[in-house]
Amino acid sequence: MADRNSLFWQIVDGKRPAPACAKTLGIEFGLIDPDRGTIEVHFDAKPEFLNPVGNVQGGFLAAMLDDTMGPALVATLDANEFAPTVSLNVQFHRPAKAGALKGIGRVVLRGKEVCQLSGELLQDHKIIATATATAVIRKV
């Protein structure tokens, strides 16, 4: 199923650069298990991400969750497939500060086309935000 020659794996292996939006979030890939549909991703919340009261603005947290769950699925795809997110539901549990965050993503249900994903974003071992998403597998 997973094609180690796909664009995703080329990025993970350092053969190609990550997309600019992922670089902005300070993305780094940790443990990836395409057979289980799980991934660990690390982000760097920069001071530029903070709102006027000093917390990371929710849109950045949502983007981090999307960049956690999406790759959990993309790691399982063939080279000629991609999987855009068609819905994203985020729940914010506590404020995040500038600094390191860890994303944990999983493929909950992988259909032929429609897939259900879930993710958590943690800071200092505490859940900051959780999300669910629906993605649709498409041919390039």
**What's the pLDDT tens digit per position in 65-110?**
999 999 999 999 998 999 999 999 999 999 999 999 999 999 999 9
| Residue-level pLDDT at 20 | 95
pLDDT above 70 covers a percentage of the chain that reads 99
Given this model, what pLDDT does residue 140 score?
Answer: 87
Q: How is residue 117 annotated by DSSP? A: E
Write out pLDDT tens, residues 34-46.
Answer: 999 999 999 999 9
Percent of the chain with pLDDT over 90: 93
User: Any idea where the domains of the chain sit in the sequence?
Assistant: 7-139
pLDDT in tens, 11-40: 999 999 999 999 999 999 999 999 999 999
- Distance in angstroms (rounded) separating the CA atoms of residues 79 and 23: 22
Alpha carbon distance 41, 94 (integer Å): 19
* CA quadruple 97, 124, 90, 107: dihedral sign: positive
Topology given in CATH for the domain delimited by 7-139 = Thiol Ester Dehydrase; Chain A (3.10.129)
Q: Could you say which DSSP state residue 46 is in? A: -
Continuous segment of H or E residues that includes residue 32 = strand 28-33
| pLDDT above 90 (res 1) | no
Q: 81 CB contacts (<8 Å, ≥6 apart)? A: 137, 138, 139, 140
